[in-house]
A = this chain, B = another copy of it.
Amino acid sequence: MKIITVSREFGSGGRELGKRLADELGFDYYDREIIDVIAHKNGMDPGYVEKSLEKGAWQTVPLTFKRSFVGPSMAASAKTGLLLEQKKVIESVAAAGRDCVIVGRNADVILEKYSPMNIFVCASMEARIARCISRSEGEEKVSLRDMENNIRVIDKNRARTREMISGKKWGERENYHLTVNTTGWELRELTPAVADFAKRWFERTK
């Protein structure tokens, strides 16, 4: 079984690259699908699950003794619970034994024993802002400064969550097999380049 995990900076196009990669290779694709399963199992709204998982609340995590208090620790506990749920769902995806691409959700750490190929996707801040603008067309206007700020906050939360659950740094080159900078690429042209690299990774003899 071949598993590719895609971690990414917000706005780098990593999610789209992951989807295209799955299509190109004929692999299953998991991203929001995981959220939907968690939501369905727990009778929650998928939007709520996604927001809770992305937000930063859990760096203040309870540490059990806090658990009986109300306030921020409630949100933190919710996040901790959802992270555990997410871990279970990701493990069950892998246990199903089908080739797949999983975007985000620290799948590289959770599925370490399956020796996935781990890809990190980045881009220059200018390129990331440009992508966010093109995505948000028709929506409420956000200033460039606020957009850059949003990007930094989201990445910071991803980094913190990762470091808390794994002790491994988010985005650090040694933790990934390949770090791809999407700046200057059309994703449809980048996809076969990464797909070919991945094929060779899975065929290697070492």
Q: Is the beta-carbon distance between B177 and A206 smaller than 8 angstroms? A: no
Interface size class of A (residues with CB under 8 A): 20 to 34
Residues of A109-148 at the interface with B, using a CB-CB cut-off of 8 Å, are 120, 122-125
Instruction: From the candidates B180, B184, B185, B200, name the one contacting A193 in the complex (CB within 8 A).
Output: B200
Q: Is the beta-carbon distance between A180 and B181 smaller than 8 angstroms? A: no
Query: Bound complex: CA of A40 vs CA of B157, how far in Å?
Result: 53
Instruction: From the candidates B122, B174, B186, B197, name the one contacting A204 in the complex (CB within 8 A).
Output: B186
The verdict on A33 contacting chain B, using a C-beta distance below 8 Å, is no
Q: What string of 1s and 0s marks CB contacts (under 8 Å) between A24-66 and chain B? A: 0000000000000000000000000000000000000000000
Q: Is the beta-carbon distance between A173 and B174 smaller than 8 angstroms? A: no
Q: Is the beta-carbon distance between B123 and A174 smaller than 8 angstroms? A: yes
Q: Is the beta-carbon distance between A124 and B196 smaller than 8 angstroms? A: no
Query: Bound complex: CA of A177 vs CA of B122, how far in Å?
Result: 9
The verdict on A154 contacting chain B, using a C-beta distance below 8 Å, is no
Query: A179-B179, A192-B200 given as contacts; is B124 within 8 A of A174 (CB)?
Result: yes
With a CB–CB cut-off of 8 A, which chain B residues contact A171?
173
With a CB–CB cut-off of 8 A, which chain B residues contact A205?
186, 189
A residues touching B (Cβ–Cβ < 8 Å)?
120, 122-125, 171, 173-174, 176-181, 183-186, 189-190, 192-194, 196-197, 200-201, 204-206
Q: Which 8 A-B pairs have the closest CB atoms?
A: A179-B179, A193-B200, A122-B173, A193-B197, A189-B204, A173-B179, A186-B206, A177-B181
